[in-house]
Chains A and B, each alone.
Chain A
Amino acid sequence: MDYESLGLKVGLELHQQLKTASKLFCLCKPELREGEAELKLLRKLRPTQSELGQVDPAALFEFKKGRKILYEAEDRTSCLVELDEEPPHPLNQEALDICLTIALMIGCKPVDEIHVMRKIVIDGSNTTGFQRTCIVALGGLVEISGKQIPIQTICLEEDAARLLGIEGSLVHYSLDRLGIPLVEVATAPVLSSPKEAEAVALALGRILRATGKVRRGLGTIRQDVNISISQGALIEVKGVQKLELVSKVVEYEVQRQLGLLAIRDELKARGVKWEDLTDNFIDVTEAFRNTACEIIRSSINNGGIVLAVRLRGFKGLLGKELIPNIRFGTELADVAKFWGRVKGLFHTDELPGYGISSQEVTELKKRLNASEYDAIVFVADRRENASDALMAVVERARQALVGVPEETRGPNPDGTTRYLRPRPGAARMYPETDIPPIVIDEERIARLRADLPELPELKVERFIKDYRLSRKLAEQIVDSDFVSLFEEIVSKTHVAPSIIAVTLTETLKTLSREGLDVEALPDEQIMETFFLIDKGELAKEAIPDVLRWLLRSKGSKVRQAMEALGLRMMSRNEVEAFIDRLLMERKELLAGDKSKAFQRLLGIAMSTLRGKVDAAIVQEILRKRIQAEAGGPP
């Protein structure tokens, strides 16, 4: 696809959790809770006006949905600050230093005085109803594969509460994640292809990791991707958790926007006009009195109605697939679910089906006075919900005449996206009055500048030179989440750096391919594995087995793995005894060529001893014994 001529513009907002000792505005542990919740509380949030006197429409909508929020808290990871029962403590200076360091690495200009702001978000993800955020630096430039990418802002903000689930109008959150410091790096919307977007995402991720002060694991890094094409609209895809998914998300979004533009052109060609799409909803419950459709029947039995609307000239367009599994009908269903709280909708492009007969469809068309060019959308729910849902459907259908509506969308695991909510405006920023402005003085900048972490390219060269890693391995480890852990293990053990690097790249990749969640592996357990190897209590050959066992038995320790796997190291005496016995049992092998015999016997010995003793020791003992058997000098 020729993205340039489509006028593709992509901007990235990379969010990364920082590895600090405590949260951003209190001294709670910045970790996820392991135990049960100690406290549950129920809250409601209502929209307020920003300091410019505007109310954010998205915020207002969340409120109108009558949302209630149930929070769970545990003492170690939350206090009255997370509960919004106490004002924030002063901003975490360690987090600010990390942010300033990142800014300096990217060549951004730190602001002279930081003003913490409240960004109104009333979906419940923040107990306060706003996210605390501040601009730390502005206007940098990173060179990525030869192109200068402008960085607009670097912000320091608090992470949101962790969503546990939604049941009807009750949203359930855990407060552990709320307040973990996050850095947000936003590029200008200048990226012009999916590949470039992904390359920039990865490069920025690498720079952040180079600080050694960022968290790893699923959910610790999240990407917001802003995507637009010339005739389309600005779409914000929020919370892409895997950087590798960025290019897919961009590709699908371009495809979706092109599909919507094609629908627009088709509607134009069919002569469909704004005024053709009316809020004339017809109660068609009677037409489904004896329906075989389970969903409709149960809704009617529960006092619901079936409400329908005609979309003039839309026949065939609702069934048009925009991106895999997402049809234009899906887009209508998404807005119906969001604004009307309905579970889904039916449309004539997919009927008969779902137990709805062709007679019922004919009856429906008759009642709505629909021609063969029209589509009919209907929902079965309480009257109020059904009416809200169809209102949203008509509104969305009208937008199809214009093209692509601006939206906030969420990523699916395959890189396609779904409607989340209308795009919030700048109307939601308000000063955080509980925190006075923070002056960034020149000494602080000078101190941080004098101690900037090494850039990734330089690190690769150093790893090749100092640790004798191959270029490929050096690049892999620098690109991974484990670069700081790698250096830490290298500095604290005598294990060969290449073995550590291979473990943290290849071995973990293999385990991941086996379907294990390698991100859940605690640093301490990886470290302990290498400490035990260093002490000679564990053989390096056993690393994959140990890690696999640890991943399958969450919360266990390396020693438990060794126990379970029978990996206790054998003493030299035990190995010697084993080899002596082997030589007795397989005497015949010693008859021929000595070096061949050595190879055979080593193979047999190692099949039992692997992981219980260093292979070098087995070789040494075996060689000595064979030479002794042969009667020659060792």
Chain B
Amino acid sequence: MKEGLPGYRGIALKVLSDAGVRVEDMVRIRRGSEVYEGILFQRSQYDDDEHIVIKLKNGYNVGIRVTPNLVVERLGEGAKAAFTPPQPPKMNPSLPKVSILSTGGTIASRVDYRTGAVTPAFSARDLYSIIPELSDIALIETQEIFSIFSEDMGPEHWKTLAKVIAHHIEAGAKGIVVAHGTDTMGYTAAALSFALQNLPVPVILVGAQRSSDRPSSDAALNLLSAVKAATDLPIAEVLVAMHADPSDETVLLHRGVKVRKCHTSRRDAFKSINAHPMAAIKDGEVKILTEEYRRRQGGQILELKPDFDERAGLLKFHPGFNPDIIEYLVDKGYRGIILEGTGLGHVSKRCHPSLKRASSEGVFLGMTSQCLWGRVNMNVYYTGRDLQAIGIVPLEDMLPETALVKLMWALAQAKEPEALKRLMLTNIAGEISSKTSFRWGAP
């Protein structure tokens, strides 16, 4: 990549650098009788090397093919592509303190000239300044922790995030809001639920399904509701705040260990599974939807347990599943495997030898269901009993992803297999429900 001409390669790069122009210069491009004038724009690296992109005076971009008779001329400096954060609004020191921590994701994305798609770019401060109504709800402190898409988040990021949150809580925040990419927001929510125990204030994860550079972004309502939840909610747990339906009206708060992204693109992609949403926020009013929650109360001291052991895997069983995958994980030194079995919690008897080996080598084996809705029960069919005899632990109504995250966390807390098993079966953050309510609905 040539300095000043990002995204251009090959023949297009040669023509432009020979002409001595840079991206954002005002240029005139001629080919015979055709004349194009405009600002030279950056090109996506995945587009071909045969076209030059300019922004015409009317605001439209067009691509011009590089041909031998093309003449490129520099006319002067053009306008710069930039995002200018507006002045943040005046803060009201009498309002409760809320920290907005940003990690990246759609809620904080705008156009990326490298790929032509969107990329994380807004800092928490930017978000605050483009949604000035936030200043009516809380005294906001912002911190940009990462600027990454959520698929790049991992246990190391959860650890850092948990520590930063703990720091903000110690500094007196009445609630924490974490702006997060939606793809793995459920995993992070579960991770924080285990890492941040005895929470004195709510920790609200919030995302957007439409990037915040679009007028129709759901980011504003989600973020406003998340901040409202952070200040007002009597629930001191890790929660996820997202649209309840396609309208910009109601935001639901889901328990961090019971929530899953269930749609690729809709605003209401997040659903509580095997649980009822905890609260709803509409027109700035908070409505509590459940009686079972950890109350926010003074005097609570946060217990930070931010360590995770990555040597845990999640395997989805399917017809034709090759048990070699289990052997591979054992060979690679994995210390635990969550199985996403069929129905009530089954895998083919073909897997028995590999599972026996794993069990005998001290690898923790936990069973969840790929049905997602409902509870595993490995007593109904003898196949389930066989699996239990091998040492597979039924994990009740835990979501497979939650079980995986919990296992990573538990591996870092408990060294002994029995202690690990006990920890996995202990309800820490509401991940295991004592009963299966008919009110929770089904898919």
> A139 on the interface (CB 8 Å rule)?
yes
The answer on a CB contact under 8 Å between B51 and A437 is: yes
List the one stretch of A43-51, A209-217, A315-323, A543-551 in contact with chain B. Answer: A43-51
| Chain A hits for B60, CB < 8 A | 115, 117, 133-135, 153, 155, 429
B117 touches A433 (CB 8 A): yes
C-alpha spacing A434/B213, complex, angstroms:
13
Q: Which residues of A contact B46 (CB under 8 A)?
A: 436
Q: Which of B214-222, B230-238, B252-260, B316-324 contacts A (4 or more CB under 8 A)?
A: B214-222
Check if B63 sits within 8 Å of A428, measured CB to CB. no
Whole-angstrom distance from the CB of B404 to the nearest CB of chain A? Answer: 29
Does A431 contact B111, Cβ atoms closer than 8 Å? yes
* A111 to B221 CA separation, bound complex (whole angstroms): 40
Contact check, A41 vs B247: say whether CB atoms are below 8 A apart.
Answer: yes
Asked if A439 CB lies within 8 Å of chain B CBs, one says yes
Q: How far is the CA of A44 from the CA of B210 in the complex (A)?
A: 13
Which residues of chain B in 249-267 are interfacial with respect to chain A, using CB atoms and an 8 Å cutoff? Answer: 249, 264-267
Q: Give the complex CA separation of A119 and B215 in angstroms.
A: 11
Given contacts A49-B84, A52-B80, contact A111 B248 (CB under 8 A): no
Number of residues in B with C-beta < 8 Å to the partner? 51
A47 to B111, CA, bound (A): 16
Q: Is A2 in the interface zone, CB < 8 Å from B?
A: no
Taking CB atoms, residues of chain B closer than 8 Å to A114 are 62-63
Q: Contacts A80-B266, A437-B63 hold; do A52 and B248 have CB atoms under 8 A apart?
A: no
- Across the interface, do A51 and B267 meet the contact criterion of CB distance under 8 Å? no
Taking a contact as CB atoms under 8 Å apart, the answer to whether B62 and A113 are in contact is: yes
- Least CB distance from B80 to A in Å reads 7
Residues of A within 8 A of B360 (CB): none
A585 contacts B by Cβ under 8 Å:
no
Q: From residue A225, how far is it (CB to closest CB) to chain B in Å?
A: 17
Task: Tell yes or no: B116 within 8 A of A by CB.
Answer: yes
Residues of A within 8 A of B247 (CB): 41-43
Residue pair B215, A80 in contact (C-beta under 8 Å)? no
Contact residues in B for A53 (Cβ distance below 8 Å): 80-84
User: Taking the nearest CB of chain B, how far is it from the CB of A594, in angstroms?
Assistant: 76
- A52 near B64 with CB under 8 A, answer no
How many residues on chain A are close to B (CB under 8 Å)?
Answer: 55
Q: A52-B79, A84-B210 are in contact. Are A115 and B118 (CB under 8 A)?
A: no
**Across-interface contacts of A135 in B (CB, < 8 A):** 56, 60, 62
Smallest beta-carbon distance B402→chain A, Å: 26
With CB as the reference atom, state the residue of chain B lying closest to A134.
Answer: B60
Which chain B residues (53-107) contact chain A, with CB distance < 8 Å?
A: 53, 55-65, 79-84, 86
Q: When the two chains form their complex, are residues B215 and A112 in contact, meaning their CB atoms are under 8 A apart? A: no
The reply to whether the CB of A59 lies closer than 8 angstroms to some CB of chain B is: yes
The yes or no answer to A109 lying at the interface (CB within 8 A) is yes
Contact string, A537-570, partner B, CB cutoff 8 A, digits 1/0? 0000000000000000000000000000000000
Given A112-B51, A134-B60, A433-B111, CB of A85 within 8 Å of CB of B220: no
Q: Are B63 and A109 neighbours in the complex by a CB distance under 8 Å?
A: no
A51-B248 in contact given A80-B265, A426-B57 (Cβ < 8 Å)? no
Contact residues in B for A85 (Cβ distance below 8 Å): 209, 246, 265-267
CB neighbours (8 Å) of A48 from chain B are 130, 212-215, 217
Q: Which of B51, B81, B265 touches A86 (beta carbons < 8 Å)?
A: B265
Q: Which residues of B from 265 to 286 have beta carbons under 8 Å from A?
A: 265-267
Q: A41-B246, A43-B216 are in contact. Are A439 and B111 (CB under 8 A)?
A: no
A120 within 8 A of B: yes
Task: Tell me, in angstroms, the Cα distance from A43 to B245 when the chains sit together.
Answer: 11
A83 near B: Cβ within 8 Å?
yes
The reply to whether the CB of B34 lies closer than 8 angstroms to some CB of chain A is yes
Give the Cβ gap from B235 to chain A, nearest Cβ, in Å: 26
Please provide the chain B residues from 11 to 57 with a CB less than 8 Å away from any CB of chain A in the complex.
34, 36, 44, 46-48, 51, 53, 55-57
Within 8 A of B (CB), among A98-123: 109, 111-115, 117-120, 122
- B34, B44, B59, B84: the one contacting A428 at CB < 8 Å is B59
Docked-complex contact B48 and A439, CB < 8 angstroms = yes
- How far does the Cβ of A189 sit from chain B's closest Cβ, in whole Å? 13
Interfacial chain B residues near A427, Cβ < 8 Å: 59
- Interface membership of chain A positions 16-47, coded 1 if the CB is closer than 8 angstroms to chain B and 0 otherwise: 00000000000000000000000101111111
> Within the complex, what minimum Cβ distance (angstroms) separates A155 from chain B?
8
- Provide the residues of chain B in CB contact with A42, threshold 8 Å: 247-249
Partner of B63, one of A84, A112, A129: A112
- Contact mask for chain A residues 414-428; partner B; CB cutoff 8 A; 1 contact, 0 none: 000000000000111
- Judge if A430 is at the interface, Cβ distance under 8 Å: yes
For B63, give the chain A residue with the smallest CB separation.
A113
> Which of A86, A122, A134, A436 sits near B215, CB closer than 8 Å?
A122
Digitize B369-397: 1 where CB-to-A-CB distance is under 8 Å, 0 elsewhere: 00000000000000000000000000000
Contacts of B81 in A (CB 8 A): 51-53
- For B265, the chain A residues whose CB sits under 8 A away are 80, 85-87
Q: A47-B215, A129-B216, A130-B215 are in contact. Are A431 and B61 (CB under 8 A)?
A: yes
Q: CB distance A115 to B34 under 8 Å?
A: no
Tell me if A128 counts as interface (CB < 8 A to partner B).
Answer: yes
Q: How far is the CA of A2 from the CA of B36 in the complex (A)?
A: 36
* A residues in contact with B79, CB < 8 Å: 52
23 A-B pairs (CB sep. < 8 Å): A42-B247, A42-B249, A43-B216, A44-B221, A47-B215, A48-B130, A48-B213, A51-B81, A52-B80, A53-B81, A109-B34, A111-B63, A112-B51, A119-B59, A138-B62, A155-B60, A427-B59, A429-B55, A430-B213, A437-B44, A437-B116, A439-B48, A439-B63
List the 8 shortest-distance A-B pairs measured between CB atoms, nearest first.
A129-B215, A113-B63, A429-B59, A112-B65, A115-B61, A426-B59, A53-B82, A53-B84
Report A's interface with B, CB cutoff 8 A.
39, 41-53, 55, 59, 80, 83-87, 109, 111-115, 117-120, 122, 127-130, 133-135, 138-139, 153, 155, 426-431, 433-434, 436-437, 439
